[in-house]
Structure 1
Amino acid sequence: ISQILSFNIISNPTLLFARRPSLDSASGNITFQVNQEHRGVAVIRIFVEDNGGTNDGGVNRSEERWLAIRLQNRDFVPPSFDILNSSIIFHEHSAPQLFPAIIRNIFPGTSLLRKFYEIEISVAEGPANALQELKLYPNQTLLLHTYPFFYGHFILTVTLKIWTISNPLNYTATSGNISVDVLSVNDAPDFDLSNESLVILEGSGLTSISLLYNI
């Protein structure tokens, strides 16, 4: 006589599920619906019983098998990117510097939702008078243009901002730094005169005229 088998499932904790797990013995499929408000790990204990009873020392229940179900945030793989050159060196008086595709391998993170991102770059540390122009083009080419007589060190911060279309004001961000050193050029001192010919009227008192520039 064939026996009827029934599978039993015990889940703990139950709050991770909007619909508790159930098992179809014919297909072997487990079915459940997670609770979107919770994260964590649920331990599922599964055992099978038959209808043969326990008379004469019989055993009608199997050993338990355990299954762990981990409910993770959709963004369990965080956003990331690579900086091709995190240390830049050039000399003062240089023409505008271009660094093609300095930001690479942009990954907005794992999600079932469609994501949008943008990359921002700013001076994180250093003198305020270092840069005439700082720009990151859509192809991730970096433009750096320092003032002619500036030399020294500053740090740029690159920030990757991620958001979804359903929540554009709530974004996540990850960042990285670029170190920039502008080396001094050992050239001769120089200056210019604002006027190479002065006419002073007789009888003039103490005279003061702005004469030097581009020192």
Structure 2
Amino acid sequence: MDIKVLIVDDHAVVRSGLRAVLDTKPGIKVIGEAADGISCIKKSLELHPDLVLMDLSMPNGRDGLYTTSELLQSMPEVKVIILTMHDDEQYLFRALKAGASGYILKSAPITELVTAIKQVHQGLVYLHPTATKKVIEGYLHGHSKEPQDTFETLSEREKEVLTLVAKGYTNKEAAELLSISVKTVENHKANIMDKLQLNNRRELMKFAFRRGLLDFD
């Protein structure tokens, strides 16, 4: 039986290219595409893929890591491979923490991607060679190398939302100042809390204070 794959990437050209190539590979069938985190969840619930190829950087405040975590909460049986341009250990360790079973670079040859899909579908974990080395080094040193300064993992817009929320602006006020929707502000806030591993507004304000973001002048 073919491995049913859902491709999630905000670039249509990337989705089309991946689909065209993967559809030629025996044992793999692309059953759908999604352009962002929200449509990924919707399509997954509708199509029931075996595996999701998840882009790391996506719009609307829901990156690939946030979407992976959200998806696996409702569909834990689905396997996720993060497909990204970022050969950076901060993303690697966060991807594994979010529940991804694979982490592969977009620059990798298609043969490696096919291998990753088949191995992850079998219940294994697949990491590109450099990532594997980083995981081993982290294990040998007794800790992961996820950086403590998680602030730098935020996008510029997320940093803006963080600052406004910490200063006490409501979602509506922040949305008006940034010329975005209230829903987008809410999505950014959820993403910020996840990336910074914060549990409530008080922790968010303490984090912002430590980072020197609460300059009201």
What TM-score do the two structures reach when normalised by structure 2? 0.20
What TM-score do the two structures reach when normalised by structure 1? 0.20
Larger radius of gyration: 1
